[in-house]
């Protein structure tokens, strides 16, 4: 029997929290192990429940999601945090991304977007909705691309699919390659673009019009 991934909700609005609990209960691979109405309660429960992924709101009383995220990731740097917020303003997005969250989607996103975000993050990837990616691309717009960047056709194919949010396995299936080969192309792309992770690679690609989302 497949082990379920443990989820914790950090959200001050009871109605939204109850809605998320119902959504999680219908996802066979997930198990709700804790909930908190603010960042302070979240930090108190974190060690006890040991979640695989945290659904984090931003604006909350007592301690907001930004401070809670920063403190949690200092203690548990590998903790996966997905931000669910009504606020897509630049300052909130930059603050959470700079603190190392694994993903960011708006509360207005559909269930398919939420499901995809959960799966990507639990698979070790990052996930940012289209609206959030637009904000991140704007932030990095002042960066210069390296001179004489040359990509092979296969590298371009892999890059295009990475920018669409596909996993290594999904890319391998689409391009009829092994997962290891896709990982090799991805690593070459990271090196050629001086990107520290796939998120920065995607931002670089969009900013420099290597792909169009």
* Position 65 pLDDT exceeds 60: yes
Q: What is the mean pLDDT of residues 184-212?
A: 85
User: Who has greater pLDDT, 179 or 141?
Assistant: 179
Domain boundaries, the chain: 5-139, 143-207
Residue 32 DSSP SS3: strand
Q: Determine the Cα angle at 129 with ends 50 and 108, to 5°.
A: 85
Q: Which residue has the higher pLDDT, 31 or 89?
A: 31
Position 213 scores a pLDDT of: 60
More confident residue, 196 or 26: 26
Report the distance separating Cα 65 and Cα 160, nearest Å. Answer: 32
Residue 72 near residue 42, CB atoms below 8 Å: yes
At 90 the pLDDT is 82
**pLDDT at residue 180 greater than cutoff 90:** yes
**How many other C-beta atoms are found inside a 10 Å radius of the C-beta of residue 61?**
10
Confidence of residue 140 (pLDDT cuts 50, 70, 90): low
Q: Give pLDDT, residue 150.
A: 87
Average pLDDT over residues 107-127: 89
- Highest mean predicted confidence (pLDDT) among 2-6, 44-48, 160-164: 44-48
What is the strand order of the sheet 80-85 is part of? 30-36, 5-10, 53-56, 80-85, 103-106, 127-128
Residue 128, H or E segment: strand 127-128
Q: What is the CATH number of domain 5-139?
A: 3.40.50.2300
Model pLDDT for residues 7-52, shown as the tens digit of each residue: 999 999 999 999 999 999 999 899 999 999 999 999 999 989 999 9
Phi and psi torsions of 105, nearest 5°: -135, 160
Q: What's the pLDDT at 135?
A: 82
Render 10-58 in DSSP notation, one character per residue. Answer: E-S-HHHHHHHHHHHHT-TTEEEEEEESSHHHHHHHHHHH--SEEEE-S
CA 195 – CA 205 distance, rounded (Å): 10
**Mean pLDDT over the full length of the chain:** 89
The CATH class given to the 143-207 domain equals mainly alpha
């Amino acid at each position: 029997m497949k082990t379920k991934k443990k989820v914790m909700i950090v959200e001050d609005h009871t109605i939204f929290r109850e809605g998320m609990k119902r959504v999680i209960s219908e996802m066979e691979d997930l198990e709700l192990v804790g909930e908190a109405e603010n960042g302070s309660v979240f930090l108190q429960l974190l060690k006890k429940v040991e979640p695989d992924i945290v659904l984090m709101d931003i604006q909350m009383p007592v301690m907001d999601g930004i401070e809670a995220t920063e403190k949690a990731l200092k203690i548990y740097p590998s903790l996966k945090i997905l931000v669910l917020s009504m606020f897509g303003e630049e300052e909130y997005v930059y603050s959470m991304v700079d603190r190392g969250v694994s993903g960011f989607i708006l509360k207005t996103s559909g269930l398919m977007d939420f499901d995809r975000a959960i799966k990507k993050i639990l698979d070790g990837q990052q996930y940012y909705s289209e609206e959030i990616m637009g904000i991140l691309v704007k932030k990095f717009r002042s960066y210069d691309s390296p001179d004489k960047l040359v990509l092979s056709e296969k590298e371009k194919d892999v890059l295009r699919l990475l920018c669409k949010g596909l996993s290594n396995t999904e890319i391998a299936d689409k391009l009829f390659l092994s997962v290891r080969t896709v990982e090799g192309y991805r690593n070459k792309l990271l090196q050629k673009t001086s990107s520290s992770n796939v998120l920065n690679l995607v931002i670089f690609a969009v900013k420099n019009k290597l792909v169009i989302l």
